[in-house]
Chain A
Amino acid sequence: MANSKSAYSTAGKKQKLDTHIIVVWVDNEAGVLARVVGLFSGRGYNIESLAVAEVDQKQNISRITIVTTGTPQVVDQIKLQLKKLVPVHKVADFKREDKNVIFKEMALFKFVANNGKLNKAFEACKNFNPVILDKTNKSNVIQITALRREIDSMSKNLKKFGLVSVSRTGAVAMTRGSEIFK
């Protein structure tokens, strides 16, 4: 950019983006989610999905799972910046391709259709642990658990079976085997 008229430097080379799952253990106190989310928006990091809930009532610890994309440098920064926040205890980071980590999202599908279509819809869900949570003679609600992209394609493909409403959570993650993250 030889003709740049900015007094600031010009942007450097574009690097490849990876998807990471960041898990953050925080004190469950007022404003803690705003701190974490504000850090992401303030520094221009992405949030693809977010799941948060208290996991230890005695010690008041919440576990936040964030799916984000960024260059290796940005992902490093996200971790280091998160660790600086006072209510943050520890930060784990997994690549989405990581075989040693389980990622799951849950989705609720509402179908309004005739019985034949409803049965076909349930049939189509059968690889993703479907549970029928509610059923009437012209509708049902099915719960599935699956990966993000699987739910993405399901919610597209099931339209033909009368899918009218989708509600889904952010991803949650857990390592395989006996190891726990310290």
Chain B
Amino acid sequence: MPKLYSGAEIVFKCLEDQNVSHIFGYPGGAVLPIYDELKNFNSVKHILVRHEQGAGHAAEGYARSTGKPGVLLVTSGPGATNAVTALTDAYMDSVPLVCITGQVPTHLIGTDAFQECDTTGITRPCTKHNWLVKDVNDLAEVMHKAFEVATTGRPGPVLVDIPKDIQFQKGKYKNFMKIKKLNGKSHDNFSQKNIDELIKLISKAKKPIFYTGGGVINSGPKASELLRELVYVTGFPITSTLQGLGCFPADDNQFLGMLGMHGTYEANNAMYSCDLMINVGARFDDRITGKIDEFSPKSKKVHIDIDPSSINKNVKVDLAIVGDIKSVLTSTLKTFKKSKNNFSKSNKHQISNWWEQIQKWRSKRSLDYIGSEETIKPQYAIERLYELTKDKDTYITTEVGQHQMWAAQHYKFNKPNRWMTSGGLGTMGYGLPAAVGVQIAHPKKLVIDIAGEASVLMTMQEMSTAVQYNLPIKIFILNNEYMGMVRQWQELLHDKNYSESYTAALPDFVKMAEAYGCVGIRAKTPEELDDKIIEMLNTDRPVIFDCLVDKQENCFPMIPSGKPHNQMLLGPKDQKEKKITGKGRTLV
């Protein structure tokens, strides 16, 4: 007779088996039996957040910075619905999460019981899969399968809903066994023929470009190494999506910067004019492609992705290689080295005109801005933050808006898993709890949330979590008193009708920091900025840094609505020099 365990014990035994060291959660009636068991399992540490959305984003930050799945534990009803934003965010950005929710006892399901909601119904569209466990003897298998689904193929969130009576009942524990492939849900069956074809395209290309995305990061640090090697041996230029930043060193000469709506002039023009586009782990998002009919009209397109449904979803491609980036790049490099030794030198001539053209675009210096001695320009603040932290192994999270784009443009990432941002869903309030999760995973590292004052107020309560666990996260707020990106769109698209985008009654962030029991620092002028940043870095406690920046600054360059890549709005400096006419603006 095997030993019987309660459902709650089985949950923790599964977490132990899956090597989960931290879970983020918030207790409530329907998960109390699980919380009761917490004391008996020392290897699993629980981080108490202040809101279930915070638990979700913290788990996301944990997952993105470690490559391991993040785990959250919340109660039924409001606990589950509060986690929905984070689950959707993780689904859009392919972050592996396992969400465990309590549920009312099975005999009460469907009776509109206290704190009951149809959790699996609500989360069905925002998870890869979810389960309602109705038999305690299924629990172990479901839990293990949940981890497998979350991490197999394209990663994503899953949810396990456990009724309270199941948590009490005794049942058998089953160890984790990988029996068979999940109904063929893992795709790693590209052929050598695909690779040969890719190499043929590479050797023929005169205007090639690598377009890389978050898939490289998700494939693990090895994939980034392989990508770097491939880029160096080909000598091709490379651009990255928002989520892919860090998989190739940003200060390398072959890197053209981020592409897309707020990408650099050189990256977007290179995408438009190239004759070979090699998409590695990106998904042709609408913020990247702009007007789809005129997206890179003259190029052969190669798409390497682990998710077959990403192929030909938005853009038709000429060669699709479905597989894990790491194994595709390994095969490519192996074949490449065999047949094309010394390619980067022999091929230099063939792509020299292309590089010349890229240099011309680069000389536009599209990320430049007009400096100021009176007010802190937000771009300047990011630049100084980068300069003062670049020697440390820094982890950056962001909220959503102008500050996020400025961070992506001006902070230079050299390693994968150092950049955590909400790209697909665009969740304001993501950065602060994500920073909590990152700091939990990397206690000794510097973790900074580059924030906007509007976003950070959405999840500000998690400062309390940071203080409770002594997490020295730094909240670097670019405070312009506006929802900056909303204001920018209203200026450019809605005749400067700044409808409800100004926050009239902001809190005093320094006093707020003190109220939370952490440290508040304020910088008002460019002159004092460096000293204040250094003060922040030298503080071994959570800090809220209130950086008062220019209120009118816009984020440029920008591809206006429904425009292709070669029609960008550049910054004010360029506009003054009349390199683009006023007509471009009215076309927005």
Quick one: which of B120, B149, B494, B562 contacts A10, CB cutoff 8 A? Answer: B562
Q: Which residues of A sit under 8 angstroms from B52, Cβ to Cβ? A: none
Q: Are B309 and A77 in touch, CB under 8 angstroms?
A: yes
Q: Across the interface, do A86 and B291 meet the contact criterion of CB distance under 8 Å?
A: no
Of B70-78, B121-129, B355-363, B377-385, the one with at least 4 CB within 8 A of chain A: B121-129
19 contacts between A and B (CB under 8 A): A2-B587, A5-B493, A5-B494, A6-B561, A8-B562, A9-B289, A9-B290, A9-B292, A10-B561, A10-B562, A12-B293, A30-B132, A31-B121, A31-B132, A34-B124, A35-B124, A80-B309, A84-B128, A86-B149
A136 / chain B contacts, CB cutoff of 8 Å:
none
Whose C-beta in chain B lies nearest to the C-beta of A13? B293
CA distance A34 to B120 in the complex (A): 11
The closest CB in chain B to the CB of A88 belongs to B183
The interface residues of chain B lying within 8 Å CB-to-CB of A8 are 286, 561-562
Q: Mark A6-41, 1 if CB is under 8 A from B, else 0.
A: 111110110000000000000000110011001000
* A4 to B: closest C-beta gap in Å: 5
Complex Cα gap A9–B284 (Å):
13
Q: Closest chain A residue to B183 by CB distance?
A: A89
* CB nearest to A85 among chain B residues: B129
A157 in the interface (beta carbon within 8 A): no
Chain B residue at minimum C-beta to C-beta distance from A74:
B313
CA distance A12 to B313 in the complex (A): 14
> Given the complex of chains A and B, what is the CA–CA distance between A35 and B123 in angstroms?
11
Interface pair A84/B292, CB less than 8 Å apart: no
Beyond A76-B312, A80-B309, whether A31 also contacts B120 by CB under 8 A is yes
Neighbouring B residues of A96 by C-beta, 8 Å: none
CA distance A73 to B312 in the complex (A): 7
Cα(A83)–Cα(B561), bound, Å: 34
> In the complex, which residues of chain A have a beta carbon less than 8 angstroms from the beta carbon of B184?
83
C-alpha spacing A34/B129, complex, angstroms = 12
Give chain B nearest CB distance to A33 CB in angstroms: 11
Could you tell me the distance in whole angstroms from the C-beta of B14 to the nearest C-beta in chain A? Answer: 18
Please list the residues of chain A having a beta carbon within 8 angstroms of any beta carbon in chain B.
1-2, 4-10, 12-13, 30-31, 34-35, 38, 42, 73, 76-77, 80-81, 83-89
Q: State whether B124 touches A4 (Cβ < 8 A).
A: no
Bound: A6/B291 CA distance, A: 12
Q: Please state if B185 and A84 are interface contacts (CB–CB under 8 Å).
A: yes
Partner of A86, one of B132, B185, B494: B185
- CB of B121 within 8 A of CB of A83, answer no
* Chain A residue contacts of B113, Cβ below 8 A: none
* Secondary structure dominating the interface of B: loop
Closest to A34 in B: B124
A7 touches B493 (CB 8 A): yes
Taking CB as reference atom, which chain A residue is nearest B148?
A86
* Residues of chain B contacted by A83 (CB below 8 angstroms): 184, 308-309
Give the interface centre of A7, A8, A38 by most chain B CB atoms within 10 Å. A7
CB nearest to A5 among chain B residues: B493
How distant is the Cα of A73 from the Cα of B182 in the complex, in angstroms? 26
Which residues of A lie under 8 Å from residue B128 when comparing CB positions?
A: 84, 86
B498 at the interface (CB under 8 A from A): no
Q: Are B312 and A6 in contact (CB under 8 A)?
A: no
> Which A residue's beta carbon lies closest to that of B311?
A80
B120 adjacent to A9 (CB under 8 Å): no
CA distance A35 to B290 in the complex (A): 31
Q: In the complex, A23→B38 CA distance in Å?
A: 46
Q: Which residues of A lie under 8 Å from residue B309 when comparing CB positions?
A: 77, 80-81, 83-84
Selected contact of A9 from candidates B153, B286, B308, CB within 8 Å: B286
Do A7 and B293 touch (CB < 8 A)? no
**In the complex, the 8 A-B pairs of residues with the closest C-beta atoms, listed nearest first:** A80-B309, A86-B129, A10-B562, A9-B562, A42-B125, A7-B561, A6-B561, A5-B493
- Tell me the chain B residues, 452-493 only, with Cβ under 8 Å from chain A: 489, 493
Shortest CB distance B99–A (Å)? 16
**B307 in the interface, Cβ–Cβ < 8 Å?**
yes
B292 contacts A12, CB within 8 Å?
Answer: yes
How far, in angstroms, from A30 to B125 measured CA to CA in the complex?
A: 15
Q: How far is the CA of A87 from the CA of B153 in the complex (A)?
A: 15
Given contacts A76-B312, A84-B307, contact A7 B121 (CB under 8 A): no
Question: Which of B103-137 touch A at CB < 8 Å?
Answer: 120-121, 124-125, 128-129, 132
If A1-B562, A8-B562, A87-B183 are given as contacts, then 10 extra A-B residue pairs at C-beta distance below 8 Å, sorted by A number, are A2-B587, A6-B493, A9-B291, A9-B562, A13-B293, A31-B132, A35-B124, A77-B313, A80-B311, A86-B185
Q: When chains A and B are docked, how far (Å) is the Cα of A2 from the Cα of B563? A: 9
Q: Which residues of A contact B316 (CB under 8 A)?
A: 73
Q: Decide: A38 near B292, CB < 8 A? Known: A7-B489, A77-B313, A84-B307.
A: no
Q: In chain B between 133 and 173, which residues have their CB closer than 8 angstroms to a CB of chain A?
A: 149, 153
Of all chain B residues, the one with the shortest Cβ separation from A41 is B125
Chain B positions 279 through 308: 1 when the CB is less than 8 Å from some CB of chain A, otherwise 0 = 000000010011111000000000000011
Which residues of A sit under 8 angstroms from B307, Cβ to Cβ?
A: 84
Q: Is the CB of B312 within 8 A of A86?
A: no
Q: Cβ of B183 and Cβ of A38 under 8 Å apart? A: no
Chain B residues with CB under 8 Å of A76's CB are: 312
* Distance in angstroms between the alpha carbons of A4 and B560 in the assembled complex: 10
